Amino acid sequence: METTRDPSDDAFLEAFLACRLPAAAFNHRNHLRVAWIHLQRFPLDEAIERTCAGIAQYATHLGAPGRYHRTITEALIRLMAHAGASDPLRSFDEFLAYAPAFSGDCRALVAEYYSAAKLSRPGARVFFLSPDRLPLPS
C-alpha cells in the first residue's frame, strides 16, 4: 500500500528551502519535519545532504550560522532513519508518536552516542564526526 504525498509537506519544504518561513519556524520540530520529508523521498545519504544543506542555508539566511551543528543534525537523521522515518505508511505526526524520543530533548538522545567534549569540538559544527560513545545504528 503506497501513500500519497501530502501537499502541505511539499509547500512546507519549498518555503523552508526558499527561506520564506518566518524565523520562528527555525525550530526543532520543523528541522525534524524537513529530515522526515527527505527520508520519505530520498535514500539516506541524499536525505542527509539535502537536510543539512537546507538547515545550514536557513541558519545563514537568519544571520545565525552558528545555530547549525552538522554532527548533531546528521546523527539525528541517522537515528530517525533507524527508527522508521522512511516508512511511507506513517505521516510525520504518526512517526513522532511512534518514536516519541525525537519530540523531546534530542540532545539527550544524541548524548547516548556522543560525549559533550566531542560535540563541542569546533569541527563538529561543520563536519560530521563519528560518535565516541556508541556507534550509530546502521
- For residue range 77-108, list pLDDT tens digits in order: 999 999 999 999 999 999 999 999 999 889 99
The answer to whether the predicted template modeling score (pTM) of the entire model surpasses 0.85 is yes
Predicted local confidence at residue 2, as pLDDT: 46
Note the Cα 80 to chain centre separation in Å: 8
- CA–CA dist 39, 33 (Å, integer): 10
- Closest to 27 in 3D by CA, of 106, 123, 119, 132: 106
Query: What is residue 138's predicted lDDT score, i.e. its pLDDT?
Result: 84
SS3 27: coil
Reference 129, options 77, 75, 57; nearest CA is 75
| Burial tier of 134 (Cβ tally within 10 Å: 0-12, 13-18, 19+) | exposed
Q: What number of helices (H) and strands (E) belong to the chain?
A: 7, 0
Parts of the chain with a pLDDT under 50:
1-2
